[in-house]
Amino acid sequence: MRLVLLGPPGAGKGTQAALLSEKLNIPHISTGDLFRANIGEGTPLGLEAKEYIDAGKLVPTDVTARMVKARLAEDDAKNGFLLDGFPRTVEQAEILAEFLKEQDQKLDGVLNFRVSEDVVVERMLARGRADDNEETIRTRMAVYRDETAPLIDHYGDAIINIEAEGEVEEINERAMKALGK
Ligand code: ADP
């Protein structure tokens, strides 16, 4: 299966993606994780991405798309993937669609994790990642509203809504069921 995961920052996409990846046996490809790995290794891409991530802004699309395409071209992603954190804008969705079309592939669905703003702020403050301070969280929520939320309309009928408040296992069951598993 080729799936995209959507949802506001702090929606728990990463947690759910890890579970789904294991159950569906497809790789979890997280742009946030890829960036953080690059930052940890001090690569040029990591150095460039860091200033944007620390400010809660989107990393420029050309940099992000190049990284994602390289990852999708690896062997383990040939038969399916869970994309977490990409696309985050309509422009990125168009780049992804073009990339998949070139290989005669298409998405099977877009899981949209729905949570209230109160819950996401609470979750982010609790996990305490370097970019999880209050000001950055506010910026990321605004970026989500302005740039990412329009993807819900963009993907239209491909959207599979998942209510993402509650226990991790419970949410995972909802997602598996929504996928017919
Ligand atoms: P969260 O789900 O809490 O937003 P992520 O780990 O997905 O956290 O992303 C962390 C940061 O990485 C984002 O705030 C952004 O700066 C950068 N990033 C991740 N994905 C993208 C993307 N598709 N385009 C641009 N920047 C991105």
Q: Which domain holds residue 15?
A: 2-30+80-178
Residue 152 lies in a domain: yes
This prediction has a pTM of 0.95
Which protein residue's CA is at the shortest distance from atom 7 of ligand 1?
A: 32
Residue 95 lies in a domain: yes
Give the H/E segment covering residue 47.
helix 44-55
Ligand 1: residue of 31, 124, 139 to mutate (most ligand atoms within 8 A of CB) is 31
Residue 171 lies in a domain: yes
pLDDT tens column, 153-164:
999 999 999 999
Number of domains in the chain: 1
The whole-angstrom separation of Cα 32 and Cα 67 is 11
Positive or negative: CA dihedral 32, 140, 55, 136: negative
Q: What pLDDT sits at residue 118?
A: 87
Residue 72 lies in a domain: no
Ligand 1: residue of 53, 143, 151 to mutate (most ligand atoms within 8 A of CB) is 53
Residue 56 lies in a domain: no
Residues forming a β-bridge with 54: none
Whether 92 has a binding-site annotation, put simply, is yes
Q: What pLDDT sits at residue 117?
A: 87
Residue 164 lies in a domain: yes
Q: What pLDDT sits at residue 127?
A: 87
Q: What is the 3-state secondary structure (H, E, C) of 24-38?
A: HCCCEEEHHHHHHHH
Kindly give the parts of the chain with pLDDT less than 50: none
Q: What is the token pair recorded at 55?
A: 């400010």
**What is the CATH classification number for the domain harbouring 93?**
3.40.50.300
Picking from 64, 82, 93, the residue whose alpha carbon sits closest to that of residue 154 is 93
Residue 140 lies in a domain: yes
